[in-house]
Structure 1
Amino acid sequence: MGGNWLVVCPVIVLWVVAGDAVAEGHPTLQRSEQYYVEPGIMNQAQVTAVADFLDVQPTDWAFLALQSLVERYGCIGGYPTHPAIYQGQRPITRYEFAAGLHACLERVNGLLKTAVEPFVTQEDLVILQKLQAEFAAELAMMRGRVDALDARTATLEAQQFSTVTKLRSEIILAAYGVNDAGIAYNRIENALLRGNRRFTGATSAGATRGVVIPGAPFGVKASAANQLALGYRVRMNFNTSLTGTDLLRLRLQTGDLGNLNGATGTNQTRLGFDNNNGGNVIVDKLEYRFSFQTGRGRVTIAGLGMEPDDFFDVYTPISSPGSGAISRFGRYNPLFYRIGGNAGTGVFMDYQFRDGVQLGASFLGNHPATGGIPGTSGSGFNPDLGLFGSNYTVNVLLGLEPRRDFKFGLGYVHSYSENVTQPGGTAAAGINLSGSTGTDLAVNPFNPAGTPGLAPLSRTGVQFDTINLMFQWQALPQFILAGWFSYGWVRGQSDAPALPAQGTRQANILTTALQFIFPNPLGRTGDRVALILGIPPYVRASRWNGGTLGTGNNIPAGVAGAQKLNLRDTAMPVHFEGFYLFQVNRFMSITPGAFVVLNPNGQASNNPLAVYTVRTTFSF
C-alpha cells in the first residue's frame, strides 16, 4: 500500500476533545490551548465520533472524512469526564482541525509500519492525501512550533544542574547509664596509686589526669557516676544526583549524648552513637562520588568528615549507629576503619575486577581543617604542612565473595600521627591509634593519658601498620556470623631528650571479635538480636619503658616508689554485648541493650564496667 507520499509528522502536542462516549446533542470544543493528545494516547479512552466537536460544519466534506477516519481507526482520544466538559456551541478553527488530522496521520502511519488490524484501505489513504493538501499550511505551522519546543526541551534536559535533592534524616533518643564500679585507670595511674601518690582524678587526656602532687597519699580511686542520663543525636543527609549515576552528600549533625570516657576513665565504655557537641549544628560530612566503567569502578572525593567505613564494605550487618551495635567498639574492626580517630579529607577508589573480586584504596588526611599548629593533626590547610603533611591514613582492602552467603576482606593500613606537648604538659590530640575504642595505651603507647608528659614543647610521632581480616557468613536464614582479627605494629620517635632505660619506641596492638546475629527472630520481620564477644584494642607487647615513675619526666629524684614501667597492658580486656532491636514500623525502632568490659584499660585491678541503654531511632 504504497507510495512515499504519506507524510509522517513528529510527536507533537495535540488539541482534542475529552469524553469517553458520544455526548448528547452537538457540543463544541473550547480553545485549542486547553487540551492535547500524544501519539501514545491510544491507551486512554478514545473519542469514537467527531460529532463530539463541531469544527468545519458537519455537512462539510472535510468534517465527514475526518469523522470516518476517527471512527474506523480510533485516532483521537480525549479526557473521559462525566459529563463531557467540552459542550460549547463554538466552531473550532482550522488549526484545531489540523491537530485532529495530525493524530489520524500518526495513527495510520503506525498501522502501516506494524501491519496490524485494522488494515488501512487504499481509499482511506487517498482521503488522507486530500486532507493533507487542504490543510498543508496549518500542519506546517504546527510542525515548526513542535520542532522548536523539542529543541528547547532537549537543551533544558542537557543543561539542568540537579535532578533532585532528597533529605534522609535520623534522630536518636537514648536513655543510658553505667554501673558504679570506679574509674578504670591505666597502668601508670594504678602504679601511682599503689605508690601512695596523690592523684587528681580522671579528666580529659592532657589535663590534670595522672599528675603527681607532693603531700599526704590518697590511695583511693574516684567513683564513677551511676545516674541515668538522657541524650539525643540528629543527622540530616542531603543527597543530590547531578547525572543520575553520581551522589553529592552533605550531612548536618547536632546532638548532646555523653562520651562515657569521662564517667568511667576509658574509651572502652563509649556508646556507638554518642555525640557531645553541645547541641550546635555542624557540617559533619561532605562527599562527592561517581562511577566509571559502567559501574564497575567508583571514586569518592572526601571533602569533610569522612572515615574508611564510609567507603569500604564493613562485613557486618550491625555497623549502623542507629540500628546496629550499641557500643563504639562492637560496630566493626577499629584498627581498619577507625585508625587515627579523626574524620578526614581525601580520596577513595575501588574497582570490581570480576564478580566476587573487588580491590579498593583510600587516602585520608585526618582532621585537616581545624589546626594550624605545625605538627598537629589539624594542619591540612596550613601551607607549612598541607594535606599531605598532616596526620594521614592509607587503607587498602581486597574483598572476596566466593559464595553468595560468605564474603571476607583482607586489609592493610598504614598511618602516621603526631602530637605536640605544650608547656605545662598538655598535648594536642593528634594521636589516637585505636579510634577511641581500646585502652589508653592503645590510643598512644608512648604517651598515654595519665602520663605526666614529655619534656615541654616536645613532639611525638608514630607510624602504625596493621593487617586485618574481616568476614561475614550467613550460615542459616536466621543466623549470621561476622567478625574480625587485627594486629598492628607501632613505631615511635620524639624530639625530646632520651631518658635512661626507656628503650626503643615499639609496641604491638591487637583486637578481635565475633558477632552472633539473629535476624527476624520469633517470626518478626525487621527485628534483630545480636551478641558480641570481643577483645578491644590493647597493647599486647612493648619495648618502651616509660620514665614516668623514674627520675626525670617531672617526678623528683628520690621519691619513694619511683620506678620504671614497661608500657603495655598487663591484662587482656574482654567485651560482652547483647541487644534486641524491635522494629516498631518502617520509620521507628527501639533497641534495649547492654555491654560489660572485663579488665578495663588492660588492668585486672580495675572493676568490671557495665553500660546499659535504650535507644530509640527515627529514620525518614
Structure 2
Amino acid sequence: MGKFYPLLVSGISILCFLAQITPLQAQTFMREQGRAGSREQRGKTREKGETRERGEKKPTTTNYQLPITQVSQLSDVQPDDWASRALQSLIWRYGIVTGYPNGKFLGNRALSRYEFAAALSTVVRQLEGAIANGKPVQATQDDLATLEKLLQEYTAELKALQSRLDSLEARSAVLQAHEFSTTTKLAGQVIFAINGGGFGGDSLRDPTGTEIANNNPVTTLFYRTQLDFDTSFSGTDLLKIRLDTGSNGNRDNAAGVLEPNFGSGLDFSTRSSRNGELGLGRLYYSFSAAKNLQIVLGTAIAPTDYLDRNRYANRSFVDFSTQALVNNYLLFPIDEQGAGAVVNWQANEFFTLRAMYLAADAENSGSRDEVEGVSALTRLLYPDEGGDRGLFGNPYQGTVELEYSPNPGFTLRLQYSGGNTFDRHFDVLGANVELNLSRQLGVFGRYGYGSYDDTIFGDLEPSYWMVGISLRNLLLPGAVAGIAAGQPFVENAVGDATQTNFEAYYNFPLNENLAIAPLVQAIANPSNQADNGTIITGTLRTVFSF
C-alpha cells in the first residue's frame, strides 16, 4: 500500500470508531488484509485453475451485493469472530455492511481500492445526512480531516464507481425490458428422501389405547417440491406466492405412521401433505410500516416462519426433522398455514418484539368440513372439532414473542400463545434459547408449559422440553451435525409413561445448491405408552435449492 498505508489505517480506524471497535483491532484487520492480499497475489494463477476445476465463480468486486440487516445473515461470520460485534454496529447504525448474493461477507478477502472507496462513500453520505438533519456526528475534526484526505486520494475510484453505476443502470434497463418480470424473482427447492424403520414388540397403541400398528411399515421414497414467486414493488416490501406439492404427508415416513400424535413425524414432510396435488403453500404481503417495523398480512401464513425460530433447529429439510424438536410442540395448535397478520418490531440492537394472530379456517365461516392447518395434537385432544370458523371464529390463536440478543452468540426468546381450538380455550408459555460456545459448537433448547381445557382426557396442564448440540465442520469443511432429545407431551393424565424423542443428523453440502443430509430417529415409550416398543427410523435426504 506504500505511502498511503498510514492514511488507510486512519480511514479504517474511523470506520472502526463508528463501529465501536479498538484501533488495535483495526490494525490487526489491516495486517490480516495485507497478508491476505499477498497470499492472493502469490497464488493467483493456482487459485484461478482450481476455481475452474470446481466450477465455482470467484467473488469479484463486480458481484452485486445484498443489504444486510443482521450479522446472522452472513453465513461465514461466526458469533465469536472478533469483528462480529463491530459488523452488527455498522449494520444497525449506518447500513454500511453488505453481503454477497451467496449470503457471505468474505471477510478474509483483500480489500480492493474500489471496495474501500464504496465504504468511504457510504460513510460520507451518512455524515452528510446527519449534519443536514441536525443530528450529532460521532467523529472529531481530525476524523473529518482524514475523511477529506481520503476523498481526495480516492477521487479516481469514486468517479470510476459512478461510471460503473451508470453502465449498470443502462444494462439493467435492457434486462428489464426482456426479463421474466421486472419485480418478481423465482426460487425453488426439491427434496427427495428414502425412509424406513420399525418398532420392537408385537403392536403399538396410541394415547387412547387404540392399536395403530401391528407390523413394520415398508421402506418409502418420497418427495417435496416448492416454487416461490417473490415480488417487490418498492424494494422494501414483499408479495410471496408459494406453490408446493409432495407425497402423502405424515403417512410417507415411518415415524409419522407409527407415532402420529406427539410430533414424531418428519416436519418437512408433514407440513405439506399434498398427496401429489399442487397447492398454495404461502400467500402474504409484507411491508415496512415504519423504521424497524414490519407488518405481514396474508391468507396463507405459517406461524413458524416468524416465531420460535432457532439457528440450530429450524430448517427441517437439512437439520433436525422431528416435529417436536424443530418447534415447541405445545405452542402452536395451528401449526400449518392460516389467515391473519404478523407484526415484527426491532426496538433496538438487543430487543425484538413479534406478535401474530392466525385463524385456521378463515375462509369457511360456519362450515363443518374438516379443518386444515391444526396440529395432530389438537386433533387428538379435540376429535369432535366444532367451532364457528371464519377469521374471528375458532380455531384461532394469538402469539407474542420477545427476543433478547445482547450479542450474536446468545439469544433468548420468551413466548406466550393463547386462543380457542374448537370452542375450548388454551394458554401456553414458552422459552427458546441458543448459545454459541465456539466457532464449531453451539447448544440450544426449548421449554413449554400450557393448559388445555375440556379435552377428551379432561383439563390438562402438559409441559414440553428439548435440548441439543450442534457441531460445525465435523469431519468435512462446511458440514454440520447435531444431536437432540426431548419430551413433547409430559402429562400424567395421558398414558402411563412419557414419550422421549431422540434424533441425530449430518448435513453435508456438496455445493451451494445441493446437500446430502441423513438422519436417525429413536422414540422411547411412543404415545406415552410403556408397553409400546422403541421405534427406530432412518432417513436419507437429498436437497436441491435454486
How does the TM-score come out when normalised to structure 1?
A: 0.53
Alpha-carbon separation, structure 1, partners of 2:364 and 2:539? 33
The residue identity in structure 2 corresponding to 1:390 is: N
How far the C-alpha of 1:313 sits from its partner, in A, is 5.2
Alpha-carbon separation, structure 1, partners of 2:466 and 2:388? 41
Q: Is the 8 A contact 1:534 1:575 kept in 2?
A: yes
How far the C-alpha of 1:359 sits from its partner, in A, is 1.1
How far the C-alpha of 1:519 sits from its partner, in A, is 1.7
Identity percentage of aligned residues: 25
Q: Which residue of 2 aligns with 1:509?
A: 462
The residue identity in structure 1 corresponding to 2:205 is: Y
The correspondence for 2:350, drawn from 356, 363, 381, is 356
Q: Which runs of 5+ in 2 are unaligned?
A: 1-151, 156-172, 374-385
Compared CA separation, residues 355 and 363, structure 1 to 2 (3 A):
same
Alpha-carbon separation, structure 1, partners of 2:287 and 2:482? 34
Larger Rg belongs to: 1
Check if 1:339 corresponds to 2:333.
yes
Query: What is the aligned length?
Result: 354
Check if 1:315 corresponds to 2:267.
no
The residue identity in structure 2 corresponding to 1:301 is: L
Compared CA separation, residues 183 and 465, structure 1 to 2 (3 A):
farther
The residue identity in structure 2 corresponding to 1:524 is: P
Q: Is the 8 A contact 1:376 1:391 kept in 2?
A: no
The correspondence for 2:403, drawn from 399, 408, 426, is 399
Alpha-carbon separation, structure 2, partners of 1:615 and 1:237? 21
Question: CA offsets, 1:134-167, max 9 Å, x none?
Answer: xxxxxxxxxxxxxxxxxxxx9xx9xxxx742111
How far the C-alpha of 1:480 sits from its partner, in A, is 1.0
Q: Is the 8 A contact 1:299 1:349 kept in 2?
A: yes
How far the C-alpha of 1:392 sits from its partner, in A, is 0.2
Question: CA offsets, 1:567-598, max 9 Å, x none?
Answer: x2321111111010111111000111111010
Alpha-carbon separation, structure 2, partners of 1:385 and 1:396? 22
Q: Which residue of 2 aligns with 1:599?
A: 525
Alpha-carbon separation, structure 1, partners of 2:320 and 2:259? 21
Q: Which residue of 2 aligns with 1:174?
A: 193
Question: CA offsets, 1:258-315, max 9 Å, x none?
Answer: 5246631533431122144221111111011011323x111000221x2221123512
Q: Which residue of 1 aligns with 2:91?
A: none
Question: CA offsets, 1:320-377, max 9 Å, x none?
Answer: 12212122222122223x3234421000102111111111111000133357435974
Q: Which residue of 2 aligns with 1:256?
A: 247
Compared CA separation, residues 301 and 412, structure 1 to 2 (3 A):
same
Check if 1:301 corresponds to 2:297.
yes
Q: Which residue of 1 aligns with 2:282?
A: 285
Q: Which residue of 2 aligns with 1:489?
A: 451
Q: Which residue of 2 aligns with 1:536?
A: 488
Q: Which runs of 5+ in 1 are unaligned?
A: 1-113, 118-153, 191-200, 203-221, 419-460, 495-501, 543-567
Compared CA separation, residues 276 and 410, structure 1 to 2 (3 A):
closer
Compared CA separation, residues 354 and 571, structure 1 to 2 (3 A):
same
Q: Which residue of 1 aligns with 2:23?
A: none
Check if 1:324 corresponds to 2:319.
yes
How far the C-alpha of 1:227 sits from its partner, in A, is 2.3
Q: Is the 8 A contact 1:252 1:281 kept in 2?
A: yes
Check if 1:609 corresponds to 2:535.
yes
What are the residue-to-residue correspondences of 1:48-447 with 2, within 5 Å?
163-181=182-200, 182-189=202-209, 201-202=211-212, 222-259=213-250, 260=253, 263-267=257-261, 268-274=263-269, 275-294=272-291, 296-304=292-300, 306-312=301-307, 314-336=309-331, 338-369=332-363, 372-373=366-367, 377=371, 386-418=390-422
How does the TM-score come out when normalised to structure 2?
A: 0.60
Q: Give the RMSD, CA atoms, in angstroms.
A: 3.1
Q: Is the 8 A contact 1:224 1:264 kept in 2?
A: no
Question: CA offsets, 1:228-251, max 9 Å, x none?
Answer: 110111011111111000111000
Alpha-carbon separation, structure 1, partners of 2:519 and 2:411? 28
Q: Is the 8 A contact 1:376 1:390 kept in 2?
A: no
Q: Is the 8 A contact 2:387 2:394 kept in 1?
A: no
Q: Which residue of 2 aligns with 1:573?
A: 499
Q: Is the 8 A contact 1:163 1:243 kept in 2?
A: no
Question: CA offsets, 1:109-156, max 9 Å, x none?
Answer: xxxxx9xx9xxxxxxxxxxxxxxxxxxxxxxxxxxxxxxxxxxxx9xx
Compared CA separation, residues 164 and 342, structure 1 to 2 (3 A):
closer
Alpha-carbon separation, structure 2, partners of 1:263 and 1:383? 28
Alpha-carbon separation, structure 2, partners of 1:574 and 1:581? 23
More helix by percentage: 2
Q: Is the 8 A contact 2:365 2:388 kept in 1?
A: no
